[in-house]
């Protein structure tokens, strides 16, 4: 067993893990943060995306021991302590960027990273950046609109309202 410690959602956590334990397993099974999903077991779907030292990564592609000393933010760490949604979470809700919700946590984590790296990205760029995240329900249009609106809200503090038809 290996002793590891890291900051997750702003809190220092530690645990004893087998060296082969994936970061996603540590997050879900040791910390009980089940918002980070496991979808494919092959790093293809993106459901397990978290922020690792400030960048979105698939948490099934890194061992927990490799994350020792790092800072991790999961979907549970995006909203404010009072429950106020992060602007990207609010955008996904307003723009119907989800259906079944299985891919949503990973999509939101990547979307926040896209908005941070590429503020004001156009639709084509957003679609390219979402390439490693699979959604089987939505057809992606609502997700793309949510990412663009959430990015704007992260910059301006105001979520543009969606026109309801």
Q: Under CATH, which number does the domain 87-156 receive?
A: 1.10.150.120
Q: How far apart are CA 91 and CA 62, in angstroms?
A: 29
Q: Given pLDDT bands bounded at 50, 70 and 90, which one contains residue 162?
A: confident
Phi/psi for 102 (5° steps) reads -65, -40
The model carries a pTM of 0.95
Does the pLDDT of residue 164 top 70, yes or no? no
E-strand stretches of the chain: 2-8, 11-17, 49-52, 55-58, 71-73
- Domain 2-76, what fold? Ubiquitin-like (UB roll) (3.10.20)
Structure confidence at residue 135 (pLDDT): 94
pLDDT digits (tens, 9 = 90+) for 87-125: 999 999 999 999 999 999 999 999 999 999 999 999 999
């Amino acid at each position: 067993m290996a002793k590891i410690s890291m900051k997750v959602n702003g809190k220092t956590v530690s645990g004893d893990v087998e060296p082969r334990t994936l970061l996603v397993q540590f997050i879900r099974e040791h910390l009980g943060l089940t918002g980070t999903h496991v979808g494919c077991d092959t790093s293809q779907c993106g459901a397990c995306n978290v922020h690792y030292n400030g960048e979105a990564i698939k948490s099934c592609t890194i061992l927990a021991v490799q994350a020792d000393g790092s800072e991790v933010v999961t979907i549970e760490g995006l909203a404010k302590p009072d429950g106020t949604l992060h602007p990207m979470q609010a955008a996904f809700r307003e723009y119907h960027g989800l259906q079944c919700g299985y891919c949503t946590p990973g999509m939101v984590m990547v979307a926040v990273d896209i908005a941070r790296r590429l503020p004001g990205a156009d639709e084509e760029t957003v679609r390219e950046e979402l390439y490693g995240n699979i959604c089987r329900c939505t057809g992606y249009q609502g997700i793309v609109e949510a990412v663009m609106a959430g990015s704007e809200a992260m910059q301006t503090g105001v979520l543009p309202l969606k026109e309801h038809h």
